[in-house]
Structures are given as C-alpha cells and as structure tokens.
Chain A
Amino acid sequence: MRTFKIKLLTGLFVLVWVLAGQAPVAGAGALLSDLENQLMCKCDDKCGKVLINCTCSTSDKTRAKFSKMLESGLTVDQIVKMQVDEYGETVLSAPTKFGFNLTAWMTPFVALVAGGFGVRKVLRAWVGKRDGIDTAETPAAEPEISKKYSKRLKDELDGIEL
C-alpha cells in the first residue's frame, strides 16, 4: 500500500511538473516571444498559425502592437486576457487549464497510465502462465497443443464449402 502511495505521489508530481506553466522568463524579447507563443494570428486569411510562426503582414502589425503594449507596462497575462475578451477562447494557442478544457490536458496522461497498468497486468498474466507450465509435467502440455490443432483443423474444415 505504501509503495502504491509513493508511486501515486511520484506520478502526480510528474504530472504537475509537466502541466505547470512555463517558468517566468526575463527580457522584453522573451516576453514578446512568450506572448506570441500563447496567441493565434487573427488575420483575415484565417491562416490558422500561432502568432510566433506566422509571417503574414497582419502578424507583423500585431507584433508591433504587442511590443508597444508590453513597453507601456502591461503584463503578458493582461494582454492575453484582453485578446480573449476581444476574440474569444479561439485566440489562445492551447486550451486553458481549468474547467472542461482540463480534460484536454489530462486525458492523454490518464490513458497512458491506464495503458501502463493494462500492460503490467497482461505481462503478469503471461509470465504467470509460463510459470504454471514450467511447474507442470511436460506431457501435460501435449493435449493442449493437440486441442489447439484439432480446433484449427475443425474451423478450417468448417470453412470449406462443398
């Protein structure tokens, strides 16, 4: 039980670390990059690119606007909030980490952990089966094999249409 708790805590720690936001970075350039990374380009062509990856003329204007906003003392979070108010959640380059959107972040890890337990269970069963055979007398395995081949033969014969 104790081992399970330790594993659970370790798993949660890794999950929190992975899901935690980026460490704050200093410098105006880094702040602008952070902001560009968090927002989508909202050009008329609906290019569907993250602002940092976009090369259209609208993105250049948006960058210049954001630079001025940062220089005026607004924080990245404040600018992001202003953008969300103006365009809605679709302007964000990734889902938020609360409410229903949290499922976007959690589901892959939950699936992976569940899959991990599944693989562990399967492996245990397969190893256990082998151990069971090892302890048994060798001839005992023969009927099993014969049964397998008989069944296959029967199925194949069933498949033949006369």
Chain B
Amino acid sequence: MNDIGEFTLLVALATALYGCVAYVMSARGNRIDLYLSADKTPFIVWACVMISSICLLRAFLTDDFSLQYVWAYSNRELDTFYKVASFWGGQKGSLLFWTLLLTTYMLVVYFQNRSKNLRVVPYAMAVMLVVVVFFLFLINFSTNPFERIPLPPEDGRGLNPLLQNYWMVIHPPTLYLGYVGFTVPFAFAVAALISKDLDDGWIRMTRKWTLISWFFLCMGNLFGASWAYVELGWGGYWAWDPVENAAFMPLLIATAFLHSVMIQEKKDMMKVWNMSLILLTFAMTIFGTFITRSGLIQSVHTFDEATLGYYFLAFLFVIIVACVALIIARLPLLKSANELDSFLSRESSFLFNNLVLLGIAFATFWGTIFPIISEAVRGVKITVGPPFYNQVNVPIGLALLALIGIGPVIAWRRATFSNLKKNFLRPVLAGLVMAVALFPVIPLGNRAEIYTYVTFVLCAFVLTSILTEFYKGTVSRMGLKDESVVGALTTMTWRNKRRYGGYIVHIGVVLIFAGIAGSQAYGTHTEKHLKTGDSFEIRGYTITYEKLIAIEATSVKTRIIAQLAVERDGKRYWTGHPEKEFYKGQNQPVSEVDVLSTWKEDLYMILADFGEDESATIKVYVNPMVSWMWTGGWVIAFGTMISMWPDRLEQRRRLDRVRKQEQLFPSPAQE
C-alpha cells in the first residue's frame, strides 16, 4: 500500500504538470482537443492524492511503523481518534493534507464551472494546478510522507501530548480549509488578468468561495484561540505568536476584500484595488506557511522539521512578481471611471474600513518580521510579543469597531446632513447612555481599563446602529405587507440575505470585541499552595481543595486530578477537576484545565503542581466575558450561512441585468 501511495503522488505530479500546460495551450490556441484532454486532469490528480492519503491513513490506523512519519507521530497506545489526527500532526502529512484539500476544492470548481466562461475557467484551472504542482513537488522530492525506515521499530514515538486534544481534529482542518480556499478566488483573479476578462465576472464566480474561505479562516482562528485556552493552561487564548499572526493577517485582508468588492459590484470601481487585495490575501496564506515551515521566526507552532522555508520564499517571490507584472500589464484595462457622488457616503466609509483593516494587518506583519529586520540592521535579536501588538493594534481596532457602526447607517452614494442626523441619533444616544451608565461602576485606573470602557461604549453604538437597520426594515415591511414582527423580520432577512447576513456577522464581531475587552481588563487570578481541606476565596467563589486522584489511563499516560469544590453564597456550586497528564518519554507534563463557563465569567482552574503529601498548587483565573467571544463566533457562522445561502432573487436580478445589457449591446446572432 505504501508503494501505491508513493507512486500515486508521482502520477499526480506528472498529471498536474500536464494539466497546467494543456489548459494554457488549449486556451491560447483555441484547441478543443487539448481542452478536452486537460479537462480530465483535475479528477485524476484528485483521485491520485486521495489514494495516497488513504494509504497514509491506513498506515496510521494499522501502526505501520516502517514509515518514518507514522513512527514519528503515532504509537500503538494512541486513540484511533488521534491516529486520524496524526495525519496532519507533522510537516509531511500536513502538506499532503493541504494538497488533498486543494485538489478537492479544485475538483468542485471544475464540476461547478466546466461549462461556464471558457475564456477564464481554463486559466483558473491552470493556476490552481500550478499551486498543486508546487505542493506535490515538495511532497515528492523534499518531504515524502512515505519515507521508509529500513528496520521498522516495534512502537512509534507518539503524538505530542499538547496535540492530543479534540481541537486537534477540528482546528487544523478548519484553518487549512480557509487557507487553501483562497487559492480559488486567487486563481480566478489571475485567470481574469491573463484572459483580459476583467469585468466583475470573476468576483461573482468566486464570491461564495471567498466567503467560505473567509468563514473557515475566521472559525480556524477562533478554534485555535479556544484550543489555546483549554490546552495551554495560562488563562489566555491569544498570544500574538508569529503563526497566530500568520493566520490573522489573511483574514484581515480578505475582510477588506469582501467589503471593497461590493463597491466594484455596485459601481464598477476599484478594480486594481480588489485585484491587489485578493492577490495579497493569497500571498499572505503562503507567507503563513513559510513562517510555520521555515523555522526562521521562533514560534510555539513551528513544525519540528521546519526546513522548507526557502521553497516557500521562492514560491512567494514568484507569485508576487508574476501578479504585480500582470496587474501592471493590464492597468489600462483595469482602469475604471472612479467617481463618487459625495465624500460622505458608504463607499467612503468602506475605503476607510479597508485602510484600518490593512493598517492592523500591516502592524501585525511589521511586528512579525521586525525581529529579522532588527537582526539584519543592528545585529541584535529582539522579541516582539503581546505588549507590542496590544499597544499598537488595540487603538486601530477601536477605529475599526467604530466604522462597523458607521457603515450601515451611512447611505450609499450620498449622505446628507439631515440623513446623517436621523440615522446616527439612536446609535449615538445608545453609546452615550452606555458611557454614562458604565462610568461610575467600572474602574478606569489604567490604559487597559480605559480601552475597555471605550470598547463597551462603541459596542453599544455599533449594536444599536445594526439593530436599528433591522428595526427600520421590519417596521416598513409590517406596514406594507401586513405581516407579524417575526414574519416581517424573517422575510426581510431571507429576501436580502447578503445584506442582513452581513449585519449578523457584524453582531458576532461586536460580541468578540466585547469579550476580548472584558476578559483583558477585568480578569483576576491567584495561585495557592493547599493541603487537603484548605479553602480560599476569589471574586465571591470559595474554593476548597478536596483530594488528589491518580489514574493510570493507559500504559503511557498517567492522570493526576485535583478535586476542587466551588461554593457560592454558602452553597456548593460546582466541582472542578483540573489535572496534569504525564506521558511516558515526555519531559513536561501537560495541564488539562477545568473551566466553569457562564456569560458573566469563566472560573478557570489549573493544577500547577502537587506534592507527595497530596498537597497541590492551584492556579485560578476569573476571566470575565470570555464566552461572549465563542458566542460571537457562532453568530458569525450563522450570519455567514445566511449570506452564502443561494439567493434566487439575486440570480433573477442578475439575469435581468444581463438581459438589459444584451438589449443595449445585442450579440451578432441576435442582430
């Protein structure tokens, strides 16, 4: 089976190479025979990569330690659940997994579009195949997951204990689905540039792909935060690690793109800008993989054998140079009649939104690469950690939050003073009421607390501005159609999925902002060394250390669990079980925290240490409003689903638009 896996990877590479050449030649020479031949390659490449992946998965499930990769990331005692996850636990398997996702996306694109726009699609398929070729080249000649060990050992080394968490099965695939997904809009953008088909067709063809990729990247970031929160045991969820930054930057740029394409769709403007944004988003996804796999920047996420940096750097260089050259070559075609009715318009607010999003992305990028710059300029290696990002990104983030509130209430094309006054009245009043109500009750002793106060005020402003939009739409529909509140709200949202889905996403973002602000400024923690029966208090909770439990979970894993009774107002409220897990052959034990999560706050418990006399060192954090962030994530998921849902009305409107255009510019056949 391993030979089959290795062989199919070579076949996939050869087929992908042929596909690239054949697609380009068929499009350039109008060769239908070549096109029909090339059109078979996406399926063949996908099938080969799928067979190879099945072979590797089989090796994991059957404990085939003759493969170096299986030996390095699995052992006989590992749960089947984690044996599956080990597939992407190391560099070799993760690259194969990446390629599997990429070829699967490519296959779906192929089935969706093979009978559509024959000017653009062949080039788009060729671009995707170029990316596939790059990854297959790495897998075949640099990081082969089917590399053998001449004398297979009895057992494997096992998966890193930190990765033995259910998030390991969810977070990396989600993030990869986001990263890989941006290849599709990128491919169509490049195809549009090559084929000179530069209207908004490529945007419409890839809108759903952009949204899906954005959604997965967003969820991937949130799942990563959630994993860090429950697994790393330091009470936080985001450490501004370079690899976290690498996943955050494309998300920001893609968000800017999602907003600015609306202007292109509505007004046929900003073509160069949108093209640049999607190319930059893709470049950032490659930059992210470069960081993870180069070992150039120190990160807790870097793969053990991070040796592929130069390949990714070269690929990144080629992409950037080729894309910039293409954009410059097509500049005359990309020029549009850029004109705005007024400075005060939603279009302007979208431009500022783009500026702020890119500002945060740039600050994050700058912080990530500054250690390299410092070493190159001064010869001194420095660290750029959370204090830098918090000080630089928080004020810019607040400006972004304000813009989320301004966007919906400012009119498209031209906003008048009376229109502004009318639309801003309620949100501004809500912000003021929040400011007055919070001022006497929350502390404002340091900058973090002041930022948090401003965040809460802005959240009230933004939430009111969004809810006012829902309210106005519902009321006017109730008046026109004689519908109930729920009926009017549902129909209105369903008939304008894109607009109201977007507003729901914004509500999710507000919840995330509020959650971050609350947990950053008002949290508290304590650490106590306790003997059995000892108690201590923190923020109204009385915590009693009851006992220490030792469990031999498997032959390689021992669990030491502290039982902690939590009382509130004299009544037993909850029992916490933070634990430490010891794995055979690992120097450091792994902390498994226990969290009591409510909307108000999280009671977060860690077993920091324990003694032979059954004493224990317990760390307890009270983190306010953390669950607001996770709720915000689900709200974003809900809003994105509404936005992505197929819209017959929109399709009908588009058809009408096309018919009108055809009447204006009849085709020769009609004439």
**A46 at the A/B interface (Cβ < 8 Å)?**
yes
A109 to B195 CA separation, bound complex (whole angstroms): 39
- Please name all residues of chain A whose beta carbon is closer than 8 Å to the beta carbon of B388 when the two chains form the complex: 93-95, 104-105
Are B359 and A93 in contact, CB atoms less than 8 angstroms apart?
Answer: no
Q: Across the interface, do B387 and A127 meet the contact criterion of CB distance under 8 Å?
A: no
In the complex, the chain B residue whose C-beta lies closest to that of A129 is B339
Which one of B236, B332, B338, B374 lies within 8 Å of A126 (CB-CB)? B338
Binds A, one of B390-398, B415-423, B484-492: B390-398
Find chain A residues with CB under 8 A from B448 CB: 22
Does B366 make an interface contact (CB < 8 A)? yes
Contact-residue size bin, chain A (C-beta under 8 Å from the other chain) = 35 or more
Contacts of A22 in B (CB 8 A): 446-448
B299 on the interface (CB 8 Å rule)? yes
B241 contacts partner chain A, Cβ-Cβ < 8 Å: yes
Shortest CB–CB separation between residue B335 and chain A, in angstroms? 9
Return chain A residues, CB-CB under 8 Å to B343: 123-124, 127
Shortest Cβ gap from A78 to chain B (Å) = 19
- Bound-state Cα–Cα, A133 to B340, Å: 11
| Chain B residues in 8 Å Cβ range of A45 | 587-588
Q: Which residues of A contact B587 (CB under 8 A)?
A: 45
Q: Chain A 107-138, CB within 8 Å of chain B: the 1/0 string?
A: 11101100110010011111101100100000
Is B522 in the interface zone, CB < 8 Å from A? no
Contact of A108 with B359 at beta-carbon distance under 8 Å, contacts A55-B232, A126-B338 already known: yes
Please tell me if A62 contacts chain B, counting CB pairs below 8 Å: no
A132-162 toward B: CB 8 Å interface, digit per residue (1/0)? 0100000000001000100110011001010
Q: CB of A28 within 8 A of chain B?
A: no
Q: Does A8 contact B (CB under 8 A)?
A: no
Per the bound structure, the CA–CA distance linking A124 and B338 in Å amounts to 11
In contact, A112 and B396 (Cβ under 8 angstroms): yes
A155 touches B28 (CB 8 A): no
B57 on the A face (CB < 8 A): no
- The 8 A CB mask of A47-60 against B (1 = contact, 0 = none) is 11110111111001
- Range for the number of chain B residues in contact with chain A: 35 or more
A123 and B263 alpha carbons, distance in the complex (Å):
13
Given the complex of chains A and B, what is the CA–CA distance between A38 and B386 in angstroms?
Answer: 9
Q: Would you call A127 and B383 a contact (CB within 8 A)?
A: no
B341 at interface, CB cutoff 8 A: yes
**Contacts A90-B380, A93-B383, A123-B351 given; 10 further ones with Cβ under 8 A?**
A18-B395, A37-B387, A55-B606, A60-B609, A89-B382, A93-B387, A104-B370, A112-B356, A115-B359, A155-B333
Q: What residues of chain B have their CB less than 8 Å away from a CB belonging to chain A?
A: 28-30, 195-196, 232-234, 236, 239, 241, 269, 298-300, 332-333, 337-343, 348, 351-352, 355-356, 358-359, 362-363, 366-367, 370, 374, 377-378, 380-388, 391-392, 395-396, 445-448, 526, 587-588, 591, 606, 608-609
In the complex, the 7 A-B pairs of residues with the closest C-beta atoms, listed nearest first: A108-B363, A93-B385, A130-B339, A94-B387, A94-B388, A112-B359, A126-B340
Q: List 22 A-B contacts (CB under 8 A).
A: A23-B445, A23-B446, A23-B447, A37-B386, A48-B300, A49-B234, A53-B232, A55-B233, A88-B381, A89-B380, A93-B383, A94-B384, A94-B388, A94-B391, A105-B388, A108-B359, A119-B351, A127-B343, A129-B337, A130-B341, A155-B196, A161-B28
